[in-house]
């Protein structure tokens, strides 16, 4: 760092902040990007303040910390339960096909579908949400979950079959 460490740190933060935000957004952390940027800087400063810990290349260290935070965030997202809003959006997308149907019937069908989705195994529900809400391919979903594309296809088939069966049992046509 330069003769004025505070200025050098401020310059580093100013120059790399937008790049780090973009890095986190591209990795799916849209809502948390700013927090992750701050956490990146905080970890860098903590490491710098430790006695006997000189950071030879602060920029490289900054990006190493950012990569690790992105991995941690992705792992938390995979383990986090799906939010109600996510299931509602998914249900709306599946239900949106029939324009002739009146609003009350559509709402009833949407509620039934949300109930069915909530009752699905976590992995099956997650795969359906990633495919229909997020628009991910089987390969992308497989990479995120650490399973094969074939297993993703099985989850989709199971989930859609459960939705069809549950709604057909009630006399509703869901497609």
Fold adopted by 5-79: Rna Polymerase Sigma Factor; Chain: A (1.10.1740)
Q: What is the pLDDT of residues 108-166, one digit of tens each?
A: 777 887 888 888 888 998 898 888 888 888 899 999 889 998 999 999 888 888 888 77
pLDDT of amino acid 175: 43
Instruction: Reply yes or no on whether the pLDDT at 37 is more than 70.
Output: yes
> 94 with 163: CB under 8 angstroms?
yes
With beta carbons less than 8 A apart as the criterion, state whether 10 and 60 touch. Answer: no
Tokens of 115: 């109930």
Bigger pLDDT: 48 or 84?
Answer: 48
CATH, domain range 84-169: 1.10.10.10
Residue-level pLDDT at 22: 85
Please state the pTM of the whole predicted model.
0.44
What band does 74 get if pLDDT is binned at 50, 70 and 90? Answer: confident
Integer CA distances (angstroms), 155 to 119, 120, 141, 147, 174, in order = 14, 10, 11, 11, 19
Contact between 112 and 172 (Cβ < 8 Å): yes
**Domain extents in the chain:** 5-79, 84-169
Name, in order, each residue with C-beta under 8 angstroms of 104's C-beta and a sequence gap of 6 or more: none
Cα–Cα distance, 60 to 66 (Å, whole number)? 10
CA distances from 20 to 1, 33, 71 (A): 20, 8, 14
């Amino acid at each position: 760092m330069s003769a004025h460490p505070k200025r050098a740190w401020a310059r580093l933060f100013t120059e790399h902040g937008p790049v780090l935000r973009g890095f986190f957004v591209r990795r799916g952390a849209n809502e948390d990007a700013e927090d992750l940027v701050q956490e990146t800087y905080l970890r860098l400063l903590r490491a710098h303040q430790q006695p006997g810990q000189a950071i030879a290349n602060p920029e490289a260290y900054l990006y190493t910390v950012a990569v690790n935070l992105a991995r941690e965030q992705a792992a938390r997202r995979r383990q986090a339960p799906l939010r109600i809003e996510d299931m509602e959006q998914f249900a709306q997308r599946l239900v949106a096909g029939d324009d002739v149907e009146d609003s009350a019937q559509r709402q009833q069908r949407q509620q039934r579908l949300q109930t069915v989705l909530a009752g699905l195994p976590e992995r099956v529900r997650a795969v359906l949400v990633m495919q229909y809400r997020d628009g991910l391919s089987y390969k992308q979903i497989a990479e995120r979950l650490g399973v094969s594309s074939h297993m993703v296809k099985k989850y989709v088939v199971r989930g859609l079959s459960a939705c069809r069966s549950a709604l057909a049992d009630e006399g509703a046509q869901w497609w």
